[in-house]
Amino acid sequence: MATLNWRTINIDALDPDSPANFDLTSLAPSVTPIATADVQALAGQIRQLLRGGDNEGALQGALENPPYGADEKGKDIHLATVIEILQSIRQSDMSPLLGRIYSSPGGTEALDVLMKYIYKGMAQSSAPGTTKSVTPQATGFSQIHSRGGGEGGGQAMSVLLSWHEKVCSSSFLSCSLRHRLLASWTWRRRLLEITCVRHTRLTQNCSSSK
């Protein structure tokens, strides 16, 4: 019979209170599934506001209705819609518009969503490759997505950097950042609780075995 080397035993796999056996999905909020057709319909309504000159209403509508429950195609459609809105707003209007959004109900959450889309748009614009894909929209128009360092991608990156600068240079970021720090602290506190429970049980087992 082979001798078992106890040093090779994965204790975390045997401990039910170990972070390795903790269901991480329970820490994420549950979201309602959203069909891609619904995201396209929302994009059509937002573009109607853009054509009517209501850039602020279009941006608020996009930030207040992020399709967290959509698939990747639906999320990409909404990202393209947000970037299209940001590109349609003049640089001189950015700070006043951010101030009005911040002072409106749910303004801090809206700015937090805006920062998420800014970073996601930057990641997409800086991706390697220069190909362009055309996504059919429910409105009958086609949205052109530029990828990589092409002219369209560089223009989108410039706009996103301008928005990032406006948000970071204002007093709005502190409130938005507070939400992310709170979420991070909640996660760390949960891990600390799991570790403490695990340590207590291991101590009790060692004491009872003596």
pTM: 0.62
d(CA 153, CA 124): 9
Would you say residue 133 has pLDDT above 50? no
* CATH code of the domain occupying 32-173: 1.25.40.190
Tokens 């975390």 sit on residue: 12
Of the chain, the percentage scoring pLDDT greater than 70 comes to 63
Tokens 């502190």 sit on residue: 174
Question: 129-141 burial string, b = 16+ CB within 10 Å, else e?
Answer: eeeeeeeebbbee
pLDDT at 153: 59
- CA angle centred on 42, ends 88 and 138, rounded to 5°: 90
Computed over every residue of the chain, the mean pLDDT equals 75
Q: What is the mean pLDDT of residues 4-17?
A: 76
**Coil, strand or helix at 15:** coil
Least Cα distance to 130 among 117, 148, 151 occurs for: 148
d(CA 172, CA 161): 16
pLDDT at 6: 73
Least Cα distance to 143 among 90, 86, 78, 49 occurs for: 78
